[in-house]
Structure 1
Amino acid sequence: MSSIYPLLAALFANVLAQVLKPVVLYLRTQKVDIHQCIACGGFPSSHSSTVTALTMAIGLSEGFDSTYFAITCVFSFIVIYDAANVRYYAGRNIQLTKQLISDLEGMKGLKLNDPIYHEKIKSVLGHKFVEIIGGMILGFFVSLLMYQLLHL
């Protein structure tokens, strides 16, 4: 069982983060949206919870001075950076593009008939800093708790 502990910790942290998203949304807005379970973005970040749980699980099982831990640390930094920056700003660019299309149609009376201008594209792709930190904390505690349960 301990050989698949890192995988199980990462998967459990991912699922838990996704399940918590509609709960957190409800607590903040009183709106029920079960689709948040499969959504990108939101609190907590499933990207950061997954890679943090994986990294911590590798550190706990293989040692924090192991090559595997170093590899998962680098992997985690890349994923978290991507979730916080690249994907966030890609989402902001989508919002800007949608607004420009709306403004052009409204103010200039342009008829943009090409279907690409009216595609439904998700604007929220990335995470805010607090969502990343929430995911990292969740991943840390999931891996720690699972490690403790496996080594009773």
Structure 2
Amino acid sequence: MNRLNRDTITAIVLLLVCGACFWQTFYIREIPFSTMGSEVWPRFALAMMFVLVSIYLVQSIASPPPRVEGERRSVRAWVSSYSSALWCFGMFFLFVLVMPYLGMLLSGILFVFVTQTVIGRRDPRSLAIHLVVALVAVGGMWAIFRYGLGVALPVGSLFR
């Protein structure tokens, strides 16, 4: 049998985290004025995550990455290979910092647009696509949560 690779170990740890988080949904306090249970959305999200991580586990076992013996990489090479992920984390950090001021809708649109622009193409056609995707995705989700589910989302201190 092959040794466990990094992807397989990551998938197993993520499955355990999903299980622990799902277990914790049984302790979510029931809100009396809610139309559906407070645990429904976390359980749905965790179930979707469980399915996706299970697919990841099967893929990591079925076709493990090639093994390179004795290769040492510099910090610069590591940063270069993970630059897209690092940009996404940085943009998300800025999103969290800006959200109290701009609100969920505007800061979410900016987050999606800027992140796609930073890690994707920057020609005029792509920028237009990034803007449409940001407006439709974030605006749609905001409308579903705000009007469909009645969730009070942050408005932002600049617009109060």
Given the two structures, how large is their TM-score scaled by the length of structure 2? 0.30
Q: Which has the higher contact order (CA 8 A, sep 6+)?
A: 1
